[in-house]
Amino acid sequence: MAKKELSKKTLKKSFWNWFYGNLTCFSQEHMQTFGYLVSMLPVVEELYDNKDDQKKAMETYTAFFNTEPQIGTVVVGITAGLEEARANGEEIDGEMINGIRAGLMGPLAGIGDSLIVGTLIPILLGIGLGLSEGGSPLGAVFYIIVWNVLAIFGMRMLYFKGYELGGKAVEMMVGEKANAIRESVIMVGTIVIGAVAASWINVTTAFKMVNSEGGTIIDLQSTLDGIFPKLLSALTVIFCWWLMKKKKLSPTIVMLILVIIAFAGVLLGIFNPGLSY
């Protein structure tokens, strides 16, 4: 019997299905499961002619799956390679494939969130904000183009590299070296987020105590600057982190809270109206 091999056309279709559909029918119960099914469908259809075999193979991918979509592309590529090996009679079953998927999705989510969400996106947004000064649309254009180019080519490379490596990619993704890389990326991401916060968040107070003759007794902002420059900005960042991390509030709710605080601060004379906080 001739060896079954996935065509480039099928692999490309599988990749694009994941690229556009990784969050298809997203829910708390299934997360990215349906997106995974959509991406594996062309793979299974090419490898198996019998409908019952196709159905049995697809049942493997109905298990819960959720990871960082960009870095997680490599898992889809790996399982495409494993499915090809299974179709050629190698001792690979659905339990083994799901074990590999379950074992990879957690570590890759940590790596992806640190590298993509915590590092790459803040860097691109920081550059875009700088280019947008004065109302220029160049920043938005820069972010849209650069992000999509990096996402498409990066995810495509990961998919095909995962397919080529198959099960051998597991040790690369979750081994000791991968853990060291993950910790390094987390550190870099933390530094980048801190730099972005220091550069773009500027919270100041207009509160002053004056005497009967109109002279200033206490200028609160000058006093705070003498103690710790940009102290209010740092406290604002910590406050937002506390609300989202500890109190589990959504970013939208946090923004509404900041608006309420700013509004009340203007009414009480703590902030100056018309300034950016």
Question: Domain-by-domain residue ranges, the chain?
Answer: 8-195, 202-267
CB neighbours of 178 closer than 8 A, spacing ≥ 6? 107, 111, 172
Mean pLDDT in residue range 236-265: 89
Q: What pLDDT was estimated at residue 175?
A: 53
Q: What pLDDT was estimated at residue 93?
A: 78
d(CA 144, CA 206): 37
Q: What pLDDT was estimated at residue 174?
A: 46
Q: What is the DSSP letter of 120?
A: I
Cβ(5)–Cβ(83) below 8 Å: no
The tokens for 160 are 């095909």
Mean pLDDT in residue range 153-177: 73
Give the pTM.
0.62
Q: Is the confidence at residue 178, as pLDDT, over 60?
A: no
